[in-house]
């Protein structure tokens, strides 16, 4: 019981966000978690509370189910359909962790609530192993193409939609050779692919908050926690223009950060910048100014920019491009999983 009350003091929270979520809700959740000092879980395995924002569609609901199956007990699954019930939902989550038998949130009125009990662990963990969780790899096969002409192994794997600092609702179907992304296609769960350009200047957040939102993710991925926290604070607290330009200058002067994002190309022309360093510099430099908001490409264009990069660099590129997933994947053919063949050495 002591362990449980400790758990409820500082639970790690895994947030699962549909592509179509209300932006205000996502920001409210991030701000409330920061206020309570509840850390963001880095993976399902690190989570005590799984928080499902908004109204997940059928595809995301399936992901929620398989992700939930991999969260180790004690654990609580909570739905937060609107910002109004956020605080009571989080209080319920803490109470659920404290009680001996974790329950779902009373604040949720979604169909998830009905399935919640069915998802609770009631026996040996081994019986509950799920196989179809997106981040799990399938068997490797030989690469169709590889740069050096060696018959290397390749792996087809779906990245997302439950990863830290990952665009809402996005699944990137990638082919990996080692930790190198050799092919990538986007899918946005529950949003039909539309034909159209990216959201040039259409973010409901406004230019500066959009930039800060992107910078929060990039800095978070870089492990620059205090800078990421500062960017989020500015994003959530109507800052003075002076504060914004000061933060932009601080980032611009920060040589370690500049050095860490160097030497990563942005290919495919998703945005006008040619390198990650330029993209970050423009995002930081335009803070507090009167420039138009940053271009947010379609998901497919952003995911295509990951090809040829190491996984870590690819994650930074995706975070910096910040695709607008509310538009769907963009003009692409429907995703068809490649034929997977087994082979032996």
Contacting residues toward other proteins, per CB under 8 A: 2-4, 6-7, 9-10, 37, 42-43, 45-46, 48, 70, 72-74, 125-126, 129, 131, 135-140, 150, 152-155, 157, 163-165, 176-179, 219-227, 256-257, 259-260, 262-263, 310-313, 315-316, 342, 344-345
Nearer to other proteins, 23 or 43 (CB): 43
Nearer to other proteins, 85 or 224 (CB): 224
CA distance linking residue 121 with residue 124, whole number of Å: 8
Shortest distance, position 132 Cβ to other proteins, whole Å: 10
Nearer to other proteins, 235 or 315 (CB): 315
Shortest distance, position 41 Cβ to other proteins, whole Å: 9
Nearer to other proteins, 220 or 248 (CB): 220
Shortest distance, position 61 Cβ to other proteins, whole Å: 21
CA distance linking residue 76 with residue 119, whole number of Å: 10
Shortest distance, position 120 Cβ to other proteins, whole Å: 13
CA distance linking residue 206 with residue 286, whole number of Å: 13
Nearer to other proteins, 66 or 82 (CB): 66
Shortest distance, position 82 Cβ to other proteins, whole Å: 28
Nearer to other proteins, 2 or 333 (CB): 2
Shortest distance, position 91 Cβ to other proteins, whole Å: 19
């Amino acid at each position: 019981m002591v362990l449980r009350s400790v758990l409820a003091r500082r639970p790690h929270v895994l947030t699962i966000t549909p592509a179509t979520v209300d932006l205000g809700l996502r920001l409210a959740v991030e701000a409330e978690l920061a206020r309570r000092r509840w850390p963001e879980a880095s993976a399902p395995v690190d989570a005590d509370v799984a928080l499902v924002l908004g109204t997940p569609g059928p595809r995301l609901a399936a992901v929620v189910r398989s992700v939930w199956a991999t969260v180790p007990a004690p654990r609580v699954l909570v739905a937060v359909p609107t910002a109004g019930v956020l605080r009571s939902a989080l209080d319920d989550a803490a109470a659920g962790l404290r009680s001996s038998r974790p329950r779902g949130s009373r604040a949720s009125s979604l169909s998830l609530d009905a399935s919640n009990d069915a998802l609770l662990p009631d026996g040996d963990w081994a019986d509950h192993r799920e196989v179809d969780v997106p981040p799990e790899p399938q068997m490797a096969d030989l690469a169709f193409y590889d740069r050096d002409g060696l018959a290397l192994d390749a792996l087809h794997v779906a990245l997302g939609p439950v990863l830290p600092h990952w665009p809402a609702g996005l699944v990137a179907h990638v082919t990996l050779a080692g930790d190198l992304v050799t092919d990538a296609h986007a899918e946005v769960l529950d949003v039909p692919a539309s034909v159209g350009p990216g959201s040039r200047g259409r973010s409901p957040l406004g230019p500066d908050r959009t930039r800060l939102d992107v910078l929060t993710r990039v800095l978070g991925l870089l492990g620059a926690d205090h800078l990421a926290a500062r960017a989020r604070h500015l994003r959530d607290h109507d800052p003075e223009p002076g504060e914004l330009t000061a933060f932009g200058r601080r980032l611009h002067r920060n040589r370690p950060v500049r050095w860490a994002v160097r030497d990563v190309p942005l290919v495919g022309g998703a945005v006008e910048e040619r390198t990650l360093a330029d993209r970050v510099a423009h995002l930081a430099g335009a803070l507090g100014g009167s420039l138009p908001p940053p271009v947010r490409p379609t998901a497919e264009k952003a995911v295509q920019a990951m090809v040829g990069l190491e996984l870590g660099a690819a994650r930074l590129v995706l975070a910096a491009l910040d695709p607008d997933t509310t538009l769907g994947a963009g003009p692409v053919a429907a995703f068809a999983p490649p034929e997977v063949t087994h082979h032996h050495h």
